[in-house]
Amino acid sequence: MTGQGARAAKTTANRAKMLAAARTLFAERGYTATTMKAIAEAAGMAVQTLYFTFATKRAILSELLDTEIAGDTEPVATMDRPWFDAALAAAPADQIRLQVDAAATIFGRVSPLLEVIRSAAATDPELAELWQTNLTQRRAVQLRLATALTEKTALRNGLPAERAADISLAVLAPETYHLLVHERGWTTADWTAWAADALIRQLLP
């Protein structure tokens, strides 16, 4: 590895250490109580390095959210992911099962972080904006999937795609996942089976 390559690898590794430290502290202490200094100390970095890399605590949280939703650091949007293409190509009930499976996988990674954002959004305007952006993105995904359903079959009671997307948004809300899995002790398999059954019954004729 060249000197430049080694430096790039070290920079990437340090960035990952900072993000991991922030994720743990946000989950344990909440967003407000987690300071940049605490993140730097937990990552074993100088606080100046943390500021140089991310500039703000919100920037750390925003990058963490993107990474946790995607499951990797590749700049590929949700609607360009292989699972999404597979869902669009599937029969109606199978499409619903695939999108529920994807939601379960994503929430398994990101649910604690989304709860941190949701909890802090009430008092922090920047996090309220981040939460709203995430909601808007989730609604766009559900609308595209609902539109695909209407192209394959008439929906229950003539539901339009807009209403079907709202129903999916509610059933697959991170708040619902957090309540049932983290608060009520459901397994991910329990939640997945319930959510798929609920959407199939609500949306398909």
> pLDDT (tens digit, 9 = 90+) per residue, 39-63?
999 999 999 999 999 989 999 999 9
Is the model's pLDDT at 1 over the cut of 70?
A: no
Six token digits for residue 182: 């983290």
Token pair for residue 10?
């070290």
Condensed to tens digits (0 to 9), the pLDDT of residues 113-147 reads 999 899 889 899 999 999 999 999 999 999 999 99
For 146-158, the pLDDT digits (tens) are 999 999 999 999 9
Tens-place pLDDT, residues 60-74: 999 998 888 877 777
Q: What is the pLDDT of residue 3?
A: 66
pLDDT of residue 102: 96
Q: So what's the pLDDT on residue 11?
A: 81
| Whether pLDDT at 12 is above 80 | yes
Cβ-based neighbours of 128, under 8 Å, separated by 6 or more = 121, 122
Q: Give me the pLDDT at residue 60, please.
A: 94
Domains of the chain: 1-55 (1.10.10.60), 64-203 (1.10.357)
Q: Say what the pLDDT of residue 52 is.
A: 94
Judge whether residue 202 has pLDDT over 70.
yes
